[in-house]
Amino acid sequence: MSTVAINHQAPETAAPPLLTDTAIDGMAAYEALVNEARSDRTGFWARLAREHLSWHRPFTKVLDESNAPFFKWFDDGLLNASYNCLDRHLHDGNANKTAIIFEADDGSVTTITYRQLHARVCRLANALRARGIVCGDRVMIYLPMSIEGVVAMQACARIGALHSVVFGGFSAKSLHERMVDVGAVAVITADEQMRGGKNLPLKSVVDEALKMAGTDGIHTVIVYRRTGGSILWDEPRDCWLHELEAAQPDTCEPEWVGAEHPLFVLYTSGSTGTPKGVQHSTAGYLLWAAVTMKWTFDLRTDDVYWCTADIGWITGHSYICYGPTAVGATQVIFEGVPTWPDAGRFWEMIARHKVSIFYTAPTAIRSLIKAAETNSGVHPRRFDLDSLRLLGTVGEPINPSAWEWFAREVGGGRCPVLDTFWQTETGGHMITPLPGATPLVAGSCTLPLPGIEAAIVDETGCELPNGQGGLLVVKEPWPSMLRAIWGNPQRFRSGYYPADLGGKLYLAGDGAIRDAQTGYFTITGRIDDVLNVSGHRMGTMEIESALAAHPLVAEAAVVGRPDETIGEAIVAFVVLKGPRPQGTEARQLADQLRAWVGKEIGPIAKPKEIRFGDSMPKTRSGKVVRRLLRSVAKGETLAQDMSTVENPAVLRQFGHHE
């Protein structure tokens, strides 16, 4: 952990200009940047780092590959992420510019300028220091979508504490696992959150997690009063956010940290069932968040940008908390759901706030297509969407029909639709069209950004020709790549730089194919046991483990099947310790198991379908044959080779719905 304690003073390098003409305005400009990166890789990244970040002490080293794949970027430079996102706007004419337009679940709107946001972050940063939280400590954040969420993340960054944000839909058990793994000393949460007109608990979930073993190191719980709902209180551990802030000054000297100092740890599902703590560095991560805001979104000074993600996911980190603030953008943050109070909510908000850049998930688009087809009153054509000039999608590949509807009905045929491919691990966009430059193709994320050397290889690491599908890899390191899996260097190395591929290629975990003529990339799906449910990554092993922990369950296997609304639906095959249930008993038990999984992991992990059998289809060595279960889940005729399956007849038991 590279922290540096020095006297606090202004950075030696002047703040770079923010929203200058940084767009890539054509394929010639794109190709020039690609060639620059290929001909002088370290010079390319050094130029971007000097142009887009403010450094307290300039770096002299660009890339250290001596301990590959544990790469280091700009390692001897000093900076602070919060300073880069806030302080420099106080001196560049943007202090009074609106930073955030926050719309709550009930439609009430709050705005905050960069000057006001800076003051709030400083007050909370001072409060964290007053509670004994220091540089290098880890702070859990379990908050609703809110200005407070951005304030909490930036306040941690300001004092050099690492934040670990957990999505508000996760259970106490999931929260507890992450608390213990990261070694948290504090939690920032709220009494409740509002979603779709309902009050949902947060503080009580934290209380439940803190009753479990291994949480003795957490000495502070800071509570944002969101609803005023009744909660339990533990004095002096628990304290109100508004009271802490009120007692502190609105200036706070930032902690200047080394470029490789971890900014945050964000947990994501893995194929082994244990969540992975993806660790990102300060400089490399922030650089790419800022650069991609400008390149991908062609950001201009008068834009109103809206990303509908949650801060509990990487999209909310990169394209809500850090990217927009690093470049001085005005953004909308939304607390609710797209179908409350009706399915016209997104379109009404775009019209009212004059949103010009709209970034959302294919899952949301597909659900709103269905709503528009059945209720003309919520169709986007009923709203004034003329302010829009750019549309983007994130979280999963978008199918061509949804892409075309989005472009036609929301964008009016005039707005580029950017299908962005990237991951929690990459920190920012990797393969994406560029507005005004890349010719668009529905369903394709098109070409890698300059500096990203993506390729498709076979299982031995040999590059494949265009038109042939294989494994998506990145051939060269880049600054925003994850630095580690928290506390598990072996899992990092084997999972992302596997020996089977030579140990030098970053394995994305997705399959892909390049068009034979254009070279455009299309993502074909995960190659491991990770499902993409409504844009959220869920490990099948994690769900299987939760089901197997139920006292009635002997064995469980989980697979995904295509779903036209949510992308992939979770299908669970369950063998009970007792007899296989039928009829009403099976339906009741399936509901019971869904509720169990919701409690163990969170509502997003509940299987859409549960099927019961007397035993699992297994090889003679005892391995569950999941490829056959995937076919059963999809309703396919079983024409596959079953010679290695010891008991193929059991598949008939699972062939009927619960």
Which of 372, 315, 3, 296 lies closest to 157, judged by CA? 3
Tell whether residue 420 is among the known ligand binding residues: yes
Instruction: Tell me the sheet residues that pair with 538.
Output: 531
Q: What three-state secondary structure class fits 26?
A: coil
Instruction: Tell me the sheet residues that pair with 451.
Output: none
Tell whether residue 424 is among the known ligand binding residues: yes
Query: DSSP letter at 499?
Result: G
What per-residue string of b and e applies to 597-624 under the rule 16 or more CB within 10 Å gives b? bbebbbebbbbbebbbbeebbbeeeeeb
The alpha helices in 375-461, defined as continuous H runs, are 400-405
Tell whether residue 397 is among the known ligand binding residues: yes
Contact 450, 36 (CB under 8 A): yes
Which of 573, 572, 594 lies closest to 650, judged by CA? 573
Which secondary structure element, helix H or strand E, spans residue 190, and what is its range? strand 186-190
Tell whether residue 197 is among the known ligand binding residues: yes
Tell whether residue 195 is among the known ligand binding residues: yes
Amino acid letter at 150?
A: V
Query: DSSP letter at 17?
Result: P
Tell whether residue 377 is among the known ligand binding residues: no
The alpha helices in 465-524, defined as continuous H runs, are 489-496
Contact 336, 168 (CB under 8 A): no
Tell whether residue 20 is among the known ligand binding residues: no
The alpha helices in 504-555, defined as continuous H runs, are 540-548
Q: How far apart are CA 42 and CA 54, in angstroms?
A: 19
Cα 204 from chain centroid (whole Å):
25
Tell whether residue 535 is among the known ligand binding residues: no
Tell whether residue 325 is among the known ligand binding residues: no
Tell whether residue 421 is among the known ligand binding residues: yes
Query: How crowded is residue 376: how many other Cβ atoms within 10 Å of its Cβ?
Result: 9
Environment class of 55 (CB within 10 Å of its CB; exposed 0-12, middle 13-18, buried 19+):
buried
Tell whether residue 422 is among the known ligand binding residues: yes
Query: DSSP letter at 311?
Result: T
Q: What share of the chain is helix, strand, coil (3-state, %, to 5)?
A: 30, 25, 45
Q: How far apart are CA 485 and CA 483, in angstroms?
A: 7
Tell whether residue 395 is among the known ligand binding residues: yes
Tell whether residue 652 is among the known ligand binding residues: no
DSSP for 141-189, please give it.
EE--SSHHHHHHHHHHHHHTPEEEE--TTS-HHHHHHHHHHHT-SEEEE
Tell whether residue 396 is among the known ligand binding residues: yes
Tell whether residue 526 is among the known ligand binding residues: yes
Please report, in range form, the residues annotated as the binding site for Mg(2+): 550, 553
Bind-site residues: 195-198, 315, 395-397, 419-424, 510, 526, 534, 537, 550, 553
Known binding-site residues for CoA equal: 195-198, 315, 534
Binding residues for ATP: 395-397, 419-424, 510, 526, 537
